[in-house]
Structure 1
């Protein structure tokens, strides 16, 4: 996949992109909708989660579990740049891995950690390099899955995979998110989502409310997260990004983006 194309969501295919910055960039509230693995090439990444702060450089693998909202800072290194590879592992692939290695996962939990920035050992680093090579070579999805599972397996054996394997207990939220992520530009409504999920509108609203969420919150969260990714990984104009994420008005998009991330789309671009 070409880096300029950004990280496109395809439910059963593992993708990668490169995140770059020329200036320090802090995003205090970044929702994570798909399990993501990240390795810094240059600079440092800092994560704030609950009351913890974690730091990672090139010698770490960063785990960003789906369903979390993290504070993230990307800090350029001594050469004036920040650069990192990010790989998303879709939910169906995570579930397949969990089912295939359930006994190993259970046995490894006695030594499992909750760190999101874990040191890269030799086996995990080799598996990571093979995974990136397969993605960049546009390898068959089955091969990508194979190498991604090698990374997960290595993390599991070292007791570091715990944060990625913890259930979120909100399957309906996940299903709605997956639908919107596939086509964030679509004019989604409660009715259209309910139809796709074979649910009644009132049932959809009620079950999301029981999970502490709402259709409107999920829709905007996914759209803004997609916009953040496109602004960071492509050169598409801000107005085009707004349209690709379902916003008919670029100015309204900018207002919502600033409210969510604390800076405007143009300020974000200026830091990259």
Structure 2
């Protein structure tokens, strides 16, 4: 059963800039310490500790995570599954006239928001929580955002590249081939290739995205060694993972393992 949302904690004592991050799931983050910068050629947005940042799926940013001024960057992050966002729109139709967030948005993390946010985190991270409770807590955060004027767009039908990424996501280290992925969707390899091509994507691009984005997430949210992260992302060698990671994000994974 698909989780309604994911809960992550990003923590680092190292200043780093990440090139062109594509947001794959509607997300809301709470900066606990340090500062997050979202950078574009035209300027950017700054979120110091105590601020909440909201990123809709499909947005692209250069991201700077800066430990200053507290000396450590820490952010809690909730990422909402498309099914949950769709459920929100069905359940709370009164927000249909609120324009969907574009690019990014922000607000202060007041006591009420922090309370709702941490209840959602606790439910999502507890194995004892039922699916119904996890959905309820995650929907509560979406409702608080909506009442503050921040609403994610209704997902509609997922594209084929997104479906492929979601299939690969739980097991990026597996031996994924075009034929294996096509079989999971009960279609021929040529049909899958054609549908992805219509979106300007390929299976290899989707696989590379998932593996490197998983690597970035593990570097930011775990204490695993780079070699272990490389293996979990499907890379046979530390060096190949590091080279691909540097090319994609603009810095070496070892930078986050001082």
- Give TM-score scaled by structure 2 length: 0.90
- The aligned length equals 256
Which residue pairs with 2:223 in the alignment? 235
- Change in CA separation of 1:33 and 1:115 when aligned onto 2, cut-off 3 Å: closer
Q: Please, which runs of 5 or more residues in structure 1 have no aligned partner?
A: 1-9
Which residue pairs with 1:85 in the alignment? 76
Which residue pairs with 2:203 in the alignment? 215
Which residue pairs with 2:118 in the alignment? 129
Residue 260 of structure 1 pairs with residue 248 of structure 2: yes
- Change in CA separation of 1:241 and 1:60 when aligned onto 2, cut-off 3 Å: same
Q: In 1, Cα distance between the equivalents of 2:251 and 2:78?
A: 25
**1:122 Cα deviation after fit:** 5.5
Q: In 2, Cα distance between the equivalents of 1:158 and 1:114?
A: 15
Which residue pairs with 2:236 in the alignment? 248
Q: In 1, Cα distance between the equivalents of 2:60 and 2:243?
A: 20
**1:125 Cα deviation after fit:** 3.4
Task: Identify which of 110, 134, 142 aligns with 2:132.
Answer: 142
Superposed CA deviations along residues 20-60 of structure 1, whole A, max 9, x for unmatched, are 12121110222222222210100111113574511112332
Within-5 A mapping of 1:24-173: 24-48=15-39, 51-101=42-92, 103-109=93-99, 114=102, 116-120=104-108, 123-138=112-127, 139-161=129-151, 164-165=152-153, 167=155, 171-173=159-161
Q: In 1, Cα distance between the equivalents of 2:16 and 2:9?
A: 15
Q: Which has the higher helix share?
A: 1
Q: In 2, Cα distance between the equivalents of 1:235 and 1:44?
A: 21
Superposed CA deviations along residues 2-33 of structure 1, whole A, max 9, x for unmatched, are xxxxxxxx832433221112121110222222
Task: Identify which of 7, 13, 25 aligns with 1:22.
Answer: 13
Point out the more displaced range, 193-202 or 84-93: 84-93
Q: In 1, Cα distance between the equivalents of 2:158 and 2:61?
A: 18
Which residue pairs with 1:4 in the alignment? none
Q: In 2, Cα distance between the equivalents of 1:65 and 1:171?
A: 16
User: Secondary structure in 1 aligned to 2:220?
Assistant: helix
Q: Please, which runs of 5 or more residues in structure 2 have no aligned partner?
A: none
- Give TM-score scaled by structure 1 length: 0.85
**1:244 Cα deviation after fit:** 0.8
CA RMSD, Structure 1 to Structure 2 (Å): 2.2
- Change in CA separation of 1:263 and 1:209 when aligned onto 2, cut-off 3 Å: same
